[in-house]
Amino acid sequence: MSADTPYNDFELAERGLVRERLPRHVAIIMDGNGRWAKSRGLPRIEGHRHGVKSVRATVEECARLGLEQLTLYCFSSENWKRPPLELELLMSLLRTYVVKERDEIMRQELRFCTIGRNDGLPAGILGEVQKTIELSANNPGMSLCLALNYGSRMELVDAMRSIAQRVKSGALDPAEIDESVISAHLYTAGMGDPDLVIRTSGEMRVSNFLLWQISYAELWVTDKHWPDFRAPDLDEAFRNFAARDRRFGGLSAS
């Protein structure tokens, strides 16, 4: 069996998973790269390099499980506050990932996309990102979305400005503004909302990530740092998700 062959129901059952109870869209806050490196006496960038291995393993696993979308919080708008050398190395690592994983993205028939502002991102990275987006646009598999230079408050500001411009031009009546109009002006327009948010490294916060979109998402936190995150941890998160009673403000089905 190929390493990326989709799991059948028997294989899922062996791991305590049920296809109908899997989340459709998972968003992950990949935290703890620096702490992982520090605990081993390594430079912070080594944590980020090892974190790429977790990205690769998680993407492959989610694709085999048949998820519709995986969104990874790769670089926040607040990350620009980090030291210049670390930023330079992070940008280099990001470009290397997009280029090196392009063939794998195509082989697994993933659809690649990003959310966030382009401002400040190097032109070389933007060019490689756009190339991968265009090449994979018609792939039928899971959507792999990277949040790059992303901040949810910034996203909402941009959405409000866009809506205000439409109102000013007469293209939109203020009375017509509802949740669907706001959603259509977010970076995530056209995407389904996450069902599950995973955060590594034990931090109990969402860090300005998809604030509008995760209104009804389930949250699951692990103490493991991101470079140590692998398929068994994903299974644990999905089993926990499947056991929850998602009421969306209503009454339990039971």
Enzyme catalytic residues? 31, 79
Dist. CA 112–CA 173, nearest whole Å? 34
Dist. CA 192–CA 217, nearest whole Å? 11
Residue 11 token pair: 């294989």
Residue 254 token pair: 């039971």
Q: Which strands form 143-150's sheet, in the order they lie side by side?
A: 111-115, 143-150, 69-76, 25-29, 196-199, 218-221
Residue 97 token pair: 């990932």
Question: Helix, strand or coil for residue 211?
Answer: coil
Residue 4 token pair: 């990326």
Residues 6+ apart with CB under 8 A from 16: 235, 239
